[in-house]
Structure 1
Amino acid sequence: LAGQALLRAHAFDAEHELVGMLQRQLLPRRLPRLPGAEAVARYLPTTAGLEVGGDWYDVIPLSDNHVALVIGDVQGHSAAAATLMGQMRTALRAYAVEGHPPDVVVHHANRLLMDMETDLFATCCYVDVDLEEGSAWCVRAGHLPPVLRHPDGSTEIAEAEGGPPLGVMREADFPMSPLSLQPGTVIALTTDGLVESPDADIDAGMDRFAHELALADPAHLGLVADALLVGARRTDDIALLLMRYEGMAVRPLRDSWTVWRVPQAVGHARRFTRRTLRSWGVPPQDMDAVLLVVSELVTNALVHTDGRVRLDLTLVNHRLRVAVADASPRTPVKPTSISWEATGGRGVLLVEAVSAAWGTVPVSGGKQVWSEIALGG
C-alpha cells in the first residue's frame, strides 16, 4: 500500500508539472516593447485539481504604431479547452497581423470556432490601440469590458457594447466601441476568475477591481498587477493584462494617395510624393531615390494587379517608408538574371539597390510592398 501511494504521488507530481508546462507554452513567453506604452501580464492557474484552464492573453504589435490587446477565456478546464485556447490565440493574432479591423478579426475568429464543430465556446475582449493618436476601438465577445484608470486617478468601466461569445452564433454581430486615452491612462483587462466569487456577483467584483486599480500607483505597472492579484480566490484561472499609455515622443509624419488607373497614374504618384516631401522639409537631393522607388512600386502594382492601389508615405527619424498596397496576394519575385535585351524585370532590383530595406507583407485582401530609405545620408 505504501509503495502504491508513493507511485501515485510521483504520478501526481509528474502530471502537475506537465500541466504547468502546457500552460506556459500556450501563453506568450514575454510581451513586446511598445512605442509610447508599457504592458505587463499575469497568469494564475487554479489550485483546484490538475486540469489546465483556457484563459489567455496576448499583445500584438501592428503596423502604423497600433497594438492589439487581447484577453479571453475558453469554457471549461481540460486539455481540450487548453488546446482550443492555443488555436484561438493563434487565429486572432494571424487575423490581426493581416490588417483587418477589430470587428472583422473577432468575426473571423468566431467563424473559425464554429467550423471546428466543438462543443466549447470562448469569450474574448479585443482592443486595438492607436499609440500615435491615443485612441482605441474595443470589441467584446461575451467578455468583461476594459477598466480605464485615468491620469487623475479616477477609474471607469468602459461602456463597450458586446456581442455573444465566440462559437455560439455563426452570423453574430460584434460592434466596435471607441475608447479615448490620455497620456498616463491604464487599460486593464481581466478574466472572470479575478472578479467573480460565489458570495458576490460579477458587477460587485468589477467595481472592486476598478477601486483597487484607482488606489495603485501606475508608475510601477508590475507592482500594480501584483497588487490586483493579492487575495484573489484561486477557484478559477486568472489572466490579467495591463497597458499604460504614455504617448509617443516622436510622432511619424504620414500621408496617403489613392492611385487611379489612368495613363498618368505614375506621374500623379510622383507629383504627390514630391509635394508631400517638400511639405515635410525633405531636401531636394534626397528625393531622387524616393521618386524612383515610388515609380517602380506603383508601376508594378498597376501592371501586374487589378483593383485599388494605395501609396502610403511615412517619415520618422530621417527614415522614409514607401508602401504600395494592392489587391493581389502574389509577392514580387526578384529575377536571378536578366538578359541585355530584356525590356522589364529590373524594377525589384532597382528598389533593392536604393533601399536600406524592403519587403512585402500580406494585408486584408492583398499585399503591401514596402521600402525604407535613409534620408540625409
Structure 2
Amino acid sequence: MLDIHLHVRVDVDPLRAAQNHMGVCDAIERIAPGGKPADMSAPNVPKVAGIDPLVPPPAQTPAPAGAVIQDRLAGWVSDLTTLHELTERLVGTSALDEALDAVVRAGATLVGARRGLVALEPADGLGPTGTVGLGLAHAELGHMETVPRRPAEGAPEAGDPGPGLFGSSPDLFHEEGLDPLHREVAARLGYAASYALPLNGPSGLLGSVVWLYDEPAEPVERQRHLVGLYVRYAAEHLARLVELERARARVAQLTEELLPSRLPRVSGVQMAVRHRTGPRGGGDWYDALPLPEGALGLAVGSVTGTGPGATAAMGRLRASLRAYAVIEGEDPVAVLSDLELLMRLTEPARSATALLAYCEPGKRKIVLAGAGHSPPLIVGERRTEYAETSLSAPLGMLSCWEAPSVEISPNPGETVLLYTEGLLRRTGDAMDRAFARLHAAAASVPRAIRDDPGAIADHVLRTLLPEGLDEVDSASDIVLLAARFD
C-alpha cells in the first residue's frame, strides 16, 4: 500500500474540475504551485447558477503555427493541381499549332494576363516557324511582327526571351531606352506591360512566348515560379513536336520526289490529282504516262506498310510499272503480271495493290486491269457509278497472278475517278459504308464545276472528309486522280 500524503489527495479534485472547465494544459498551469506570474495563477471565475460564464477571447489572437502550415500546404496542392491539369492538356496535343496555342493560353492563366503570343523560331534555322496569338487578331499579330528583333547575344534567361520578341517590362511607357516603334505598337494595341520567357529546348532555343497586360503590372514571385516550371516542360514537348514535324516534312518531300512532278498534257483528256502523305509516310502512289499513238496510261496503287521502307518500295514499284507500260501498255494484264513476278523476286516480304488503265482518249476507250484494287468511279451528267471490274488478289499474294481485263467507254464530258483505299479508310467507316459515301460525294458535284477535274476532286474530298479530315494527320495516304474525257 502506497503512502500518499494528505495534501496531495486534497489537490486532485480541483485539478479534475479545472480540466473539465479549461482544458488540461490551462488547468495544470493554474494549479501548479510556484514560479508562475500572478495573472497565470489567477483564481477561477465564479460560476453563476452552476454554469461557467463565457470568457471572451483576446482582441488579437495570433494564428496557430499549424494553421499557417496547412494554408501553405493547401496553396502548394492547388498550384500542383493547376500545373498538372495544364501539362495534361499540353500532352494531349499532337499538332504543333495546337500545342503552341495551349502554351500561350496556359501561361496567360498562370501569370494573370489576357493576351499573348508565342513565336516559334528555332535557332538552328531549320524550321518550322510560326506565330500563334491569344486575344490578338491577325492584323494585330502583323503589328507585333514589326517590333525590331532582339540581337542573339548570350543565353536567354527568364524575362529575356532572346532573339525574336521583346522582353519583359512592368511599365512600357516609362521604361528608358525602349524602341520608339515598340512604344508605338504598344499604344496602338493598348497594352502597357509585358512578361516574356524563352522556349529553351534540349538542342537550343526554339522561340519565345510573351504575355501582355492592359495596365502596368508584372507577375508576383509565385506566378513567375509556376509559369517557369510550365514553360520548361512545354519547351521539351514542343521540341519533340518540332522534330516530328521535320521528319514528316522530309518524308513528304521524298514521296513527292518519287511521284510525277506534273501531269502530262494529252489531247482529249484533262487531268487533276490530289495527294496527301500520312505522317509516317506511306506507299500510295499514282502515275500518268503518255504512250505511243496518243494513248495514255493511268495508274494508282498502294504498297503495304508505312515509313521510309514503304516509300522506297513504292518508288521501285512505280518505276517498274512505267517501264512495263511503255513496252506492253496496251495489255494491262500483261503489265501487272510482269510486275507481280518482279515483286515476288525482289520484294518477297511485301504485297501491293494496283490499277492500270490503258486509255485511248480519241476513242474514249479505257481497258482496265486491277490487282486487289478498288474500282474506278465514273461521274457524269446522267450517271454516277462504279465501273465493273474483275475481283483479283493483290500483287505478291499468289504464286502466279492473272485476272481478266475489262473495257469501259466514258461518255463525252464524263470524269473517271481513280483512288486508293486510304481515301476510304480516312472516313473511319466500314468499307461498304465508305464506298456509299464516296458515291454520294461524287453524285453531289455541282453541275457548274463538272467541266473542271480539279474542282471535282476538291468537292469530293471536302464532302467525303469534312472538317479538314483530308489534311489532318492520319496513318493512311490519299490519292485521288480525276480524268475528264472530252
Per the shorter chain, which TM-score range? 0.5 to 0.7
Per the alignment, residue 277 of structure 2 pairs with 45
Which of 15, 26, 29 aligns to 2:258? It is 26
Superposed CA offset, 1:111-144 (max 9, x none): 1111114312111111111112111111110010
| Separation in 1, partners of 2:372, 2:397 | 10
Per the alignment, residue 137 of structure 1 pairs with 367
Structure 1 residue 165 corresponds to structure 2 residue 405: no
SS of the residue corresponding to residue 76 of structure 1 reads strand
Deviation, 1:223, is: 1.1
Structure 1 residue 70 corresponds to structure 2 residue 310: no
Whichever residue aligns with residue 135 of structure 1, its letter is K
Equivalences for residues 1-377 of structure 1 within 5 A: 2-4=200-202, 5=236, 8-46=240-278, 50-100=279-329, 101-150=331-380, 152-196=381-425, 200-216=429-445, 217-230=449-462, 232=465, 233=469, 234=472, 235=474, 236-246=476-486
| Separation in 1, partners of 2:284, 2:272 | 16
Q: Is the 8 A contact 2:295 2:360 kept in 1?
A: yes
| Separation in 2, partners of 1:140, 1:204 | 22
Q: Is the 8 A contact 1:161 1:176 kept in 2?
A: yes
Cα pair distance change 1:157/1:9, threshold 3 Å = closer
Q: Is the 8 A contact 2:286 2:299 kept in 1?
A: yes
| Separation in 2, partners of 1:176, 1:112 | 20
SS of the residue corresponding to residue 128 of structure 1 reads strand
Q: Is the 8 A contact 1:153 1:214 kept in 2?
A: no
SS of the residue corresponding to residue 70 of structure 1 reads strand
Whichever residue aligns with residue 245 of structure 1, its letter is F
Whichever residue aligns with residue 242 of structure 1, its letter is A
Q: Is the 8 A contact 2:248 2:281 kept in 1?
A: no
| Separation in 2, partners of 1:84, 1:214 | 35
| Separation in 1, partners of 2:461, 2:424 | 10
Whichever residue aligns with residue 201 of structure 2, its letter is G
| Separation in 2, partners of 1:3, 1:243 | 48
| Separation in 2, partners of 1:125, 1:107 | 12
| Separation in 1, partners of 2:403, 2:334 | 8
Deviation, 1:22, is: 0.8
- Give % identity: 31
| Separation in 2, partners of 1:220, 1:117 | 39
| Separation in 2, partners of 1:238, 1:197 | 8
Whichever residue aligns with residue 300 of structure 2, its letter is I
SS of the residue corresponding to residue 126 of structure 1 reads strand
Deviation, 1:215, is: 2.1
More strand as a share of residues: 1
| Separation in 1, partners of 2:343, 2:361 | 30
SS of the residue corresponding to residue 280 of structure 2 reads coil
What is the TM-score with the length of structure 2 in the denominator? 0.48
Cα pair distance change 1:8/1:215, threshold 3 Å = closer
Cα pair distance change 1:221/1:199, threshold 3 Å = closer
Moved more, 116-125 or 199-208: 199-208
| Separation in 2, partners of 1:213, 1:9 | 36
Q: Is the 8 A contact 1:60 1:68 kept in 2?
A: yes
Deviation, 1:3, is: 3.2
Deviation, 1:179, is: 0.6
Deviation, 1:7, is: 5.2
Superposed CA offset, 1:311-331 (max 9, x none): xxxxxxxxxxxxxxxxxxxxx
Deviation, 1:159, is: 0.9
Cα pair distance change 1:171/1:227, threshold 3 Å = same
Gaps of 5+ in 2: 1-198, 203-235
Per the alignment, residue 371 of structure 1 pairs with none
| Separation in 2, partners of 1:13, 1:206 | 32
Q: Is the 8 A contact 2:328 2:334 kept in 1?
A: no
What is the TM-score with the length of structure 1 in the denominator? 0.61
SS of the residue corresponding to residue 54 of structure 1 reads strand
Superposed CA offset, 1:66-119 (max 9, x none): 111100111111211111101111111111111341110111111111111431
Q: Is the 8 A contact 1:110 1:170 kept in 2?
A: no
SS of the residue corresponding to residue 201 of structure 2 reads helix
Q: Is the 8 A contact 2:427 2:434 kept in 1?
A: no
Deviation, 1:9, is: 4.7
Deviation, 1:198, is: 7.3
SS of the residue corresponding to residue 184 of structure 1 reads coil
- Matched pairs, number: 242
| Separation in 1, partners of 2:253, 2:427 | 29
Q: Is the 8 A contact 1:69 1:127 kept in 2?
A: yes
Superposed CA offset, 1:288-326 (max 9, x none): xxxxxxxxxxxxxxxxxxxxxxxxxxxxxxxxxxxxxxx
| Separation in 2, partners of 1:22, 1:118 | 23
More helix as a share of residues: 2
Q: Is the 8 A contact 2:369 2:404 kept in 1?
A: yes
| Separation in 1, partners of 2:301, 2:347 | 19
